[in-house]
Amino acid sequence: MAAFLLFAGGHAANDALAGPAGKDAAGKGLAIAIEADRRDHGFKDYAADMTMTLRSSNGSESHRRLSIKVLEGRDDGDKSLIVFSRPRDISGTALLTFAHKKGNDDQWIYLPALKRVKRISSTNRSGAFVGSEFAYEDLIRPEVERYTYLWLRDEAVDGQPAHAVERTPAYQNSGYRRQIVWYDQAEFRVLRIEFFDRNNALLKRFTASDYQKYLGKYWRPALMIMINLQNDKSTNLSWKNYEFKNGYNNAYFNKNRIKNLR
């Protein structure tokens, strides 16, 4: 899931981030998003294991285990495959996502209880993914071209100097009016995202922490937390076993084979 929330897709020039002086707010916001992508470009593919912890408003918890595989797009957006392994009642549930730079993204979910693959309509992507505080929309890599940007300010987040950038979905049927993303100034990693609903009320707050660098270049977090500020529920994702450049290809990410994944 690091792919869908943390990094924007698309190619970028090394001089995209000119000095702050002279940059209008929209241009600077776009340049920051582009630079964040440039630093993550070229990972080819990766896999990781996760533990999902769901917390209710009264503090009760449930736990799930899942894995993710991501294929970096060349001329289009990335592809990702999420598969649950535990508990038994959700084992085999799979979500296949094709992000696109233009037009609607594609998502399919396989529910073992129904024994069929269901396409997720673009009008339903604001819905909760398997009862978590992550929406289907959150699981799609945010391509640069699909948002407009506005630099708001520079400020510290947990002691780290950061850029605060507002991004507004330019595509239809988003569940969000806008988002504010905080990128750390040193490495352009996403530290925090605040999501505002269609009525422009603050809905959720996402944080990513415990970053580690892989292959000398690619930063990935060990912990993600999504807090719903309107219902007091939260979902944690603990990541481990990152592996890069596994040789995945397009044939692996096929909706006709996700019925048989465990």
Question: Distance between CA 105 and CA 91 in Å, rounded?
Answer: 25
19 or 75, which is more confident?
Answer: 75
- The per-residue pLDDT for 141 is 87
In the predicted structure, residue 228 carries a pLDDT above the cut 90? yes
Give the pLDDT mean for 99-104.
Answer: 86
Give the pLDDT mean for 235-254.
Answer: 96
- Where helices occur in 118-241 by DSSP H, the ranges are none
- The per-residue pLDDT for 13 is 37
In the predicted structure, residue 4 carries a pLDDT above the cut 90? no
Domains and CATH numbers, the chain: 2-260 (2.50.20.10)
Q: What is the pLDDT of residues 131-164, one digit of tens each?
A: 999 999 999 988 899 999 999 999 999 999 999 9
Question: Distance between CA 159 and CA 180 in Å, rounded?
Answer: 18
In the predicted structure, residue 2 carries a pLDDT above the cut 90? no
Beta bridge partners of 238: 51, 223
- The per-residue pLDDT for 260 is 78
- The per-residue pLDDT for 3 is 52
Backbone φ, ψ for residue 215 (5° rounding)? 55, 25
CA 222 to chain centre: 14
Confidence of residue 41 (pLDDT cuts 50, 70, 90): very high
Confidence of residue 23 (pLDDT cuts 50, 70, 90): low
- According to DSSP, the β-strands at 212-214 and 218-220 are antiparallel
Backbone φ, ψ for residue 26 (5° rounding)? -70, -45
